[in-house]
Amino acid sequence: MKNILKILLITLLIISCKTEKSNTAIAEVSQETLGKHIEVLASDDFQGRMPFTEGGAKTTIYLEQEFKKLGLQPGNGDSYFQDVPMVEIDGTPSKKMKISGNNQKFDLDLLEDFVVTTSKTDAEVSLENSELVFAGFGIVAPEYNWDDYAGIDWKGKTAVVLVNDPGFQSGDKTLFKGDEMTYYGRWTYKFEEAARQGAAGILIIHDTKPASYGWNVVQSGWSGAHLTLESDTPKTDVAGWISNETATKLFESSGIKNKNFNELAKNNDFKAISFGLNASVKIINKIKRDQSKNVVALLPGTTQKDEYIIYSAHWDHLGVGRSINNDSIYNGAVDNASGTAALLAIAEAFKNSPQQKRSIVLLAVTAEEQGLLGSAYYSEHPIYEPKKTVANINMDAFNSPGPMKDLTITGFGHSEMDEYGKVKTVAR
Ligand SMILES: [Zn+2]
């Protein structure tokens, strides 16, 4: 990814250069500048750049200072900052999920059989005898004529869904995108869609192959406190995962005739089916609120100055943690002092070049390591109109090994930027 970004970056510099003044060379991105800023940002003084810490605050102040020194304008009205309100939710789920119905009663064990979390900030959230309904892949995709939620009032119910999307291992490239996972296949989408449908809960059935990670990853990744954005978007009370064995047990205890749940939902004529079982589980929350900052600067363009190219990089890293060889500071020189330094070096190069037609925005976002929260906040509260934003070039862990001949595009087919990458690949 990082190589492409670098190539895209070079491409854009070349494109902008050509369209502006073909006889005036654009200034080079200075390696020295890159090195200088990486050294500062990754120094022990910055304490691993964790949001909500002194090191985090130091980082945003440093970026503001450097943008000012370069003579860039504040990117958010008269400020270089965009406040990002966040909330830390530390939820403790009950040790058991109680299942009843179809003349049966049994308990599922936390971590062993299920994990649950919540994005709600209430002191306590719960499912109380919530009807479990199998909702296939949990996908509503009109462009594929697909709706796993159709025909059911989801209020109070819990959707149980499969990971990935119907295209995976279908052998059919026209079914969604075949083996290439669409956004519909991601857990984030599944949680969001269940919430939009008004469901009380959502449980994803884990499966190692289509998920591409084991149950142990779910166990460790979905325990403990998590940071999220304060937002009004709909949320289910409870969201989580169940193991494949647990799903098998639910199907066996259910009134659903076809127990082969992996095959059940592969056609668009699939209709959601009730298990005839109800689930109860509770989460007690500890809530903490704070805000961090995105740092944003502007270099106005000339003839197309109301069109924007955003260069972005997350400034945060992991802070101070478990000590390794008596060193507890996670300096994050590569991830992502390098990308952040690149923002400053690119800004400097633009500053030393003929003024661009389009405006350049430098955006250093916060809390990427907590789930891309700074970027999510920016996209929900864009400072520059999305339809006027021509491109966003993000740099996460800038290419440290040096020039490359080969590259692969992660997420190929999801952006018009692929085309620019191609042009450059051929030209090199
Ligand atoms: Zn990163």
Q: Write the pLDDT tens digit of every residue in 287-333.
A: 999 899 999 999 999 999 999 999 999 999 999 988 889 999 999 99
| Ligand 1 centroid to residue 51 C-alpha, Å | 14
Q: Which residue has the higher pLDDT, 88 or 92?
A: 92
| Ligand 1 centroid to residue 335 C-alpha, Å | 5
**pLDDT tens figures, 191-206:** 999 999 999 999 999 9
Q: Which residue has the higher pLDDT, 99 or 397?
A: 99
- C-alpha to C-alpha distance for 376 and 385, rounded to whole angstroms: 15
| Ligand 1 centroid to residue 329 C-alpha, Å | 16
- C-alpha to C-alpha distance for 314 and 41, rounded to whole angstroms: 12
Does residue 23 carry a pLDDT above 50?
no
Sign (positive or negative) of CA dihedral 204, 208, 213, 216: positive
| Ligand 1 centroid to residue 338 C-alpha, Å | 10
Does residue 264 carry a pLDDT above 60?
yes
Q: Kindly list the structural domains of the chain, giving each domain's residue range(s) and its CATH number in brackets, ordered by start.
A: 2-71+300-427 (3.40.630.10), 89-287 (3.50.30.30)
- Check: CB of residue 145 under 8 Å from CB of residue 268: yes
Q: What are the residues whose beta carbons fall under 8 Å from the beta carbon of 338, sequence distance 6 or more?
A: 34, 38, 395, 397, 398, 400
| Ligand 1 centroid to residue 313 C-alpha, Å | 8
| Ligand 1 centroid to residue 139 C-alpha, Å | 29
- By mean pLDDT, which of 162-166, 384-388, 397-401 is the weakest? 397-401
**pLDDT tens figures, 225-238:** 888 888 888 999 99
| Ligand 1 centroid to residue 406 C-alpha, Å | 22
Does residue 61 carry a pLDDT above 70?
yes
pLDDT classification of 9: cutoffs 50, 70, 90? very low
| Ligand 1 centroid to residue 98 C-alpha, Å | 39
Closest listed residue to residue 89, CA positions, set 206, 197, 231, 219 = 231
pLDDT for the residue 421: 60
Does residue 416 carry a pLDDT above 50?
yes
pLDDT for the residue 138: 98
| Ligand 1 centroid to residue 375 C-alpha, Å | 12
| Ligand 1 centroid to residue 173 C-alpha, Å | 32
pLDDT classification of 422: cutoffs 50, 70, 90? low
